[in-house]
Structure 1
């Protein structure tokens, strides 16, 4: 893979991102045939973000959110964008979703350039109120299936009930969103997203507003769902611990404007890493090392220092 191991934490040099399309395709083909020690076979590259710079406008000025960010996401990846507030990670996710157009660089999905929103990319946001309150839970999940996927009413309801059962909410199918807790609303949003069977599931700090116990439960649920369906996940967070638990690969972004600091593997960690005494020590060491990479200015590359 093009990620570093946890024993080899390096910030990418500019030269590492000047490969030709042929060499990137060759690397993807090599990854498709490779397997890690756990036996997981990596598929070909699904999403490619190549030297993407993003901007957004405020009342006072134009703000540069990211600068020359590049990374690849492969099928069944749990890829995490991690960085401090304001580093542009949510803006990157919105650009991948097709809501924002890069000022430079390209974003491609299955080799096709992303030029707008599409049903192949579904977003789960942080806000709890992303469900229309006048629709029941099952109607919230079924509606996009009818509109975007062309399912019949009966087909959409059947699929909606299937995914509500997956997230443990089959008994709340006829409830309205205002009767649900924050965590339950997020589970409905996840069921709605998974029911669409997108090429990439995009999650923008989906558990950040939850209390600690509910957040842990939602992390467990997400990993269980991934283990069952092996969907491709792009997950945004500013929590180092959550990134290590949820992701199998992590991209570290510098403080504003966001630039790539490092890319690393984290597949060896899970929620059990926190409970086990030996695993917890290794986990906390990794948390500390990531913190240094994110915030230690002495670790900046010459390109970052002068960008």
Structure 2
């Protein structure tokens, strides 16, 4: 049965009813009425307003919205880099008070790898520091995840010799090697060309199918959200408020027909239509 994006919960609801698979998994992340603000020279700007959602184990949960809706700010709050001005964020039932190895971020920028370290050293170093692994164990795990992303043969290369897509694959390997409770990805493929972006999406889904990690993914591409996510939270233009939540597990890169385009059009209307905000 194909889920219709028109079947959504209202912004006043706390979360959409989870699927059978989601009900059988544990709730890892709870974001409850979170408002986020930042200060400029002139004033305090509200980035998000009373946003709530839950992420379950094995979810590929996507935050989707236009530029400036606060989705990346929300991801940084989950990562512990920003404290909410209101509301709460909890992981495994415990309040998020700051960054931790249980939440690893893959950013959009290609240059997130120290250039003086080899690919292998880039993946192994956080394991030794944060996970307290010995040199041999860290090297073995790093090589395992480099093999998973198809870069084992580049283990001794330096970042400046890699393409943008390859650098992102190293960053993903480094994040997965840490075995976080939630993998956070902030528009990681946005700066890639269309062909590389599609390949990276396919590789991410292949990795997820193999390891079933929990993913919180930010994008402003409706098509990417439908393909990468199994659940999507729609955020309104600034300040970000919850517009709707939908299931999208049925879509793949082969879903390019009329039904897929119809879903894209419906989501676009939901994102940008003028509606009364949630109180």
Query: TM-score when scaled to structure 2?
Result: 0.95
2:25 alignment partner in structure 1: 43
Which stretches of structure 1, 4 residues or more, deviate above 6 A after TM superposition?
A: none
Higher relative contact order (CA closer than 8 Å, sequence separation 6+): 2
User: d(CA) in 2 for partners of 1:144 and 1:226?
Assistant: 21
Partner of 1:285: 262
Q: Does the CA contact (< 8 Å) of 1:42 and 1:75 recur in 2?
A: no
Alignment correspondent of 1:64 = 46
**Equivalent in the alignment of 2:185:** 203
Aligned residues: 278
Greater fraction of residues in helix = 1
| Partner deviation per Cα, 1:143-176 (whole Å, 9 max, x = no partner) | 0000000000111010000000000000000000
Instruction: Find the counterpart in structure 2 of residue 10 from structure 1.
Output: 8
CA offsets per residue over residues 238-274 of structure 1, 9 Å max, x none? Answer: 0000000000000000000000000000000011112
- The CA RMSD over aligned residues, in Å, is 1.8
Aligned with residue 208 of structure 2, among 223, 226, 243:
226
The alpha-carbon distance between structure 1 residues 225 and 41, as it changes in their structure 2 partners (threshold 3 A), is: farther
Cα distance in 2 for partners of 1:13, 1:213 equals 35
Asked whether the 8 Å contact 2:142–2:173 carries over to 1, the reply is yes
Contact 1:52 1:69 in 2 (8 A): yes
Corresponding residue for 2:172?
190
Is the contact made by 2:28 and 2:56 (CA closer than 8 Å) also made in structure 1? yes
Structure 1 runs not aligned, ≥5 long: 275-279
**Which residue among 264, 267, 271 is the counterpart of 1:294?**
271
- Equivalent residues of 1:9, 1:262 under 8 A apart: no
- Mapped to 1, the partners of 2:148 and 2:197 lie a distance apart of 18
Residues 231, 249 of structure 2: 8 Å contact kept: yes
| Aligned counterpart in structure 1 of residue 249 of structure 2, from 240, 260, 267 | 267
Structure 1 distance, partners of 2:266, 2:6, is 11
For the structure 1 residues 224 and 124, does the alpha-carbon distance in structure 2 shift closer, same or farther, using more than 3 Å as the test? same
Change over 3 Å in CA distance of 1:287–1:7 after alignment to 2: closer
Which consecutive residues of structure 2, in runs of 5 or more, have no partner in the other structure? none
Structure 1 residue 61 displacement after superposition:
2.1
Q: Is the 8 A contact 1:52 1:102 kept in 2?
A: yes
Equivalent residue for 2:106?
A: 124
Pick from 79, 92, 101 the counterpart of residue 74 of structure 2: 92
1:210 aligned counterpart, secondary structure = coil
Equivalent residues of 1:144, 1:196 under 8 A apart: yes
Distance, in Å, in 1 between the alignment partners of 2:167 and 2:11 is: 42
Would you say the 8 A contact 2:60–2:215 is kept in 1?
yes
Match of 1:115 in 2: 97
Alignment partners' CA distance in 1, 2:211 and 2:123 = 18
SS of residue paired to 2:20:
coil
- Map of 1:101-250 to 2, 5 A cutoff? 101-250=83-232
Q: Does 1:258 align with 2:240?
A: yes
